Structure 1
Amino acid sequence: MAWLVTGGAGYIGAHVVRAFQSEGIDVVVLDSLASGHSSFVPEGVPFVRGSILDRELVEKTLVDHAVTGVVHVAGFKYAGVSVQKPLHTYEQNVTGTAVLLEAMQASGIDKIVFSSSAAVYGTPDVDLVTEDTPKSPQSPYGESKLIGEWILRDQETATGLAHTSLRYFNVVGSGYDDVYDTSPHNLFPLVFDALLADETPRINGNDYPTPDGTCVRDYIHVADLALSHVAAAKRLEAGDRIEPVYNLGSGDGVSVGEIMRTVADVTEIAFTPVIAPRRPGDPARIVASGERAARDLDWKMRHSLAEMVSSAWDARRRAQ
C-alpha cells in the first residue's frame, strides 16, 4: 500500500514526499521532470518518469505499486505564462487531471488530495479570503485549477470519489538542504538570483495603500504546506468526511517590503531595492484565512518570516 505523488520531483511535491516518509507511509513519485529534478526524490522512493497525460503509464504505476490514494501536485503552474500558453495550460492541468482520474477509476482507487491554488479567487476585494469568497480567476492557470476542482466534485457524484482541494498563494522556504525553489517566476528565487549575481532586487510599486506602500501577500512555508497535504491524505485513508476545499492561509500576510528587509538581514547583504512601476492588475493585499484547515488538517504557521527566508537562502546557496 502506498500513496502516489504526481509532480513529486518538484519543489512542493518533494516536500510532500518527505512528509509522507516522516509519517512512515510508503510513497511513489510520478514526474515528467518538465520542472522537477530527480535529485529531489529521496533514495529508496520508487520514481517513475512520465506524464500524467500517459494513461497507460499512470495506470501501470498505480497497479504495480499497490497505490491506495493520490496527492496530485503535477501541473503547469505559471499564471503569467499561462496567458500566452492557454492550450498548454489546459492540457497539462485539465486534461492531465481527467486522465489521472480515469486511471484511478480503472484501478479502483478512490482517494485524492488535489494541490489547487488561491489563483481561483482572482483579485478579490476583501480583507480576508475564505473558502466561500467568490471565485473569479484571471488567468488560464487559475481557471484550470478551478476546473480541476469541478472535475473532482463531479467524479464524486458519479463514483463516490473521496477528495479535497488545498488552495494556497505563495510557497517559500525549504525543509531540506537539498530541495529548493527553482522557479524562474517566484519572488524568493528572483531575489536570491539577483543577489548572487551582484544585482539589486526590485519591487514592483511602493505606492499601494498598505503600511509600507508595497503589496501584502500570503507567504507560507513549504514544509507546513506538505504536512497538511499528508494530514488530508490520512483523513481520507481513514474514511473521514472532510471539506471539499481548504485555504492554507496565513491570516495576516507580509509585505514585499518586509520580505526585502528580512532578506537583507538574513543574508547580511545590504541593499536598497529598485522601485519599478506597478504591474497591471496587482491588488494591494490578498490574504487568506486558514481557520478551516487549522480545524481539520493540522494547518498552522510553524515558521517565522526570518525562518522562511533563512531556510530558502541556505538551500539555494548549497545548490551553487
Structure 2
Amino acid sequence: MADSDSFISLLLEGRQSIQLDQRGVDGAHPTFKVKMEDTSSPITLVIPGYETSTRSFNLRHALQCGILDLIEAESRTRIAVPRNEVEAGELFIEADVRWTKFTLKLDPQNEFWNELLAPGHKYEIRWAHGENAPWAYRGQIHQDAAERLPVRLGEHPITYEVLDSAAKPLRFHASVAPTDKVCHLTGEPRFGFNIKVTSHNDDILTVNLNNTPLRLLQTLEDIVHVEDEDGQEFEWSFSIGCWESEGPEPFPSDGMFEEFKPGVPYEETYWLTNDSGDLGSLESGKTYRGELSTSLMRSFTENMKGTKKELLAGSEQEKKKRWARCTKTVLLEVSDPFTFKAV
C-alpha cells in the first residue's frame, strides 16, 4: 500500500534505558502516535493493546497479542513473547483531529520484562505486520460490512537499552501534584502545580538545568501533561515562545545550575492565573488528569559530583572543559498521575 493511500498512520517513537528489578527509567517515555492523514470524518481504530476503559495503550498486551515484535538489536533475533489474546480495543477519533498520542510505560520491576530481557542488551519494538494488524472504519458504530480503511504502520522502532546489573546509575525521584483537588477558575484561592525533585545519591550533585523547563519555561506543557475527560491532550493557552541565538552558545550562567544534596528536595510551584490565560483554558465542571511531562524527565542528565562553588570556579574555558563530559545515565522515578476538577 502506498503511503499516499493511507487513511491513518501509526508511529512508534522513543528510546529509553532501564535496569531490571530497579525503579526508574533513563529518558522520556516512548510514544505511540496516531496520525490522521484524512481528517474529514470521524473514524474508529481497532487495535489490540488499546484499553477503552482507561483510554491507554498497554505495551505488554500489544506484544502478547502479536501486533508488536520484540527484537534483540545486535543479533536481529525476534524474541518469543508468550501469547495472551485480549479483545481488541476501539479508539474513536473525532473529525478534524490530526494527532492522538499515547505514552508507553515499561515497569522494569515487572516479572514479565525480567523473563524476556537480559542485562547488557539492546532491544527494539516494531510493528509485526501480522494477522492481528490494526484496522479502522468510518464512524463510531461498527457494522459487519464496514469498509476497512488503509492503515500504515511506521518503520521506526522503540529502542530499549537494558543496563548491566552491576551498573550503578544515579537516581532521582520527581513528583508533580496539584496544590488542591479543585481549581477555581476565578483565580481564588490560587491553584497551581508543585514540582519536587529529590536526589537519592550518596554525594552532592550539581546539575546543569540550562535549556530545561526548570530554568527556561516556555509553556506549562513542559512541566505537566494534562488530558481532558475524553483523553485528549490539553494545550495551555499561554506560551512565552522560543528564541534561538546566533553563533556559539555561551557557557551557562551560574544561576542555571542547581545543587542537589542527598534526600533534600528541590521544589517549585507554578501558579495558574487569569493574566496568563491558563485558567480561562479550563472548562468548569470538567475533571482533568495530569502527570509529569516527558520534557521534564530529560532534565537531570548533565550533572557532576561536587558543589556549585567547586564546579563553577575558574574561567569560562575552564568550566567548559570541566563540564565537557558531564552527561550521565540517570534513573528517574516519577510520581503517579493525579486528577483535579475545574469549577
What TM-score does the superposition give when structure 1 sets the normalisation length? 0.28
Larger relative strand fraction: 2
Using CA pairs under 8 Å that are at least 6 residues apart, name the structure with larger relative contact order, 1 or 2: 2
What TM-score does the superposition give when structure 2 sets the normalisation length? 0.27
Larger relative helix fraction: 1
Structure number with larger C-alpha Rg: 2
